Amino acid sequence: MSIAKVAGRGVYVPGNDIDTDRIIPARFLKCVTFDELGPSLFFDERFDGDGNSKGHPLDEDKYAGAEILISDDNFGCGSSREHAPQAIQKFGLKAVIAGSFAEIFHGNCTTLGIPCVVMDEQSRSKLAEQVQSNPNEALILDLEGEQIIFANEIYPMSMKASAREAFLAATYDPLDNLLSARDQIQDTAQKLGYA
């Protein structure tokens, strides 16, 4: 299924360099499937040692049910753990807006069908402010038009071209496409002496 638009309410989690250890602490990587990861998203940022809420945006009533995460620069840096985007998706978030993304994280999100949208600092802080004061209003990420619509205002955004292309063409999960070249893969392997 192609992903041309994502609509949903936003939640702003501020901070630069939010690494995947923060998105999903390592102890939650002890699992053999990704199914149960949703509740562990940002766990140590959300709860203290006794499990009491620290008042993280994800736990604020006004953002309950938000589907689009907004953050700042270099989001998702650190480890390659797909547990991070998996936890984001299982938590119920459908897209991430940030100033920039770490590459492996970006790639993992794309394969899972989570658009990573880049927004410059000025529009991002304006959008974050608007979302904070109108948490019930839905954002619309228009991947085709490369714009974000919120409360009748249009915000500029950008996406990595190949990712945008893949969302629109429904090829963001590349596996079937990769497998369609079995003969060519075999040829390459032979040429290189790997088969």
Partner 1 sequence: MGKNLFQKVWDDHVVRQLDSGQYQVFMALHLIHEVTSPQAFGMLKDKGLSVAFPGRTFATVDHIIPTDNQSRPLKDDMAEKMLQVLSDATAEHGIEFFAPESGSQGIVHVVGPEKGLTQPGMTICCGDSHTATHGAFGCIALGIGTSQVRDVLASQTLAMDPLKVRRIRVEGELGMGVTAKDVILHIIRILGVNGGVGYAYEYAGSVIDAMSMEERMTVCNMSIEGGARCGYINPDETTFEFLKGRDRVPQGADFDAACEKWRAYASDADAEYDDEVVIDAKDIKPTVTWGVTPAQAISIEEIVPSPEKAEGLDKNLITDALDYMKLQADAPIKGTKIDVAFIGSCTNGRLSDFQAVAKVIAGRTVADNVRAIAVPGSEQVDRDARAEGLDKVFEAAGFEWRKPGCSMCLAMNPDKLVGDEVCASSSNRNFIGRQGSPTGRTILMSPIMVAASAIEGSVADAREVFGLQEDAA
In the list 5, 19, 138, 147, the residue contacting partner 1 (rule: CB under 8 A) is: 19
Q: What is the DSSP string of the chain?
A: ----EEEEEEEE---SS-BHHHHS-GGGG--SSSTT-GGGTTHHHHB-TTS-B---GGGSGGGTT--EEE--TTBTBS---THHHHHHHHHT--EEEES-B-HHHHHHHHHHT--EEE--HHHHHHHHHHHHH-TTSEEEEETTTTEEEETTEEEE-B--HHHHHHHHTT-SS-HHHHHTTHHHHHHHHHHTT--
Residue 44 binds to partner 1 (criterion: CB under 8 A): yes
Residue 158 binds to partner 1 (criterion: CB under 8 A): no
Residue 189 binds to partner 1 (criterion: CB under 8 A): yes
Residue 89 binds to partner 1 (criterion: CB under 8 A): no
Q: Which stretch binds partner 1 (CB under 8 A): 4-12, 130-138, 139-147, 165-173?
A: 165-173
Closer residue to partner 1, CB minimum distance, 111 or 132: 111
In the list 68, 70, 77, 157, the residue contacting partner 1 (rule: CB under 8 A) is: 77
In the list 5, 56, 126, 160, the residue contacting partner 1 (rule: CB under 8 A) is: 160
Antiparallel, parallel or unpaired: β 116-118 and 95-98: parallel
Residue 194 binds to partner 1 (criterion: CB under 8 A): yes
Subset of residues 95 to 154 that bind partner 1, contact rule: CB under 8 A: 100, 102-104, 107-108, 111-112
Size of the site for partner 1 (CB under 8 A): 58
In the list 50, 52, 61, 175, the residue contacting partner 1 (rule: CB under 8 A) is: 175
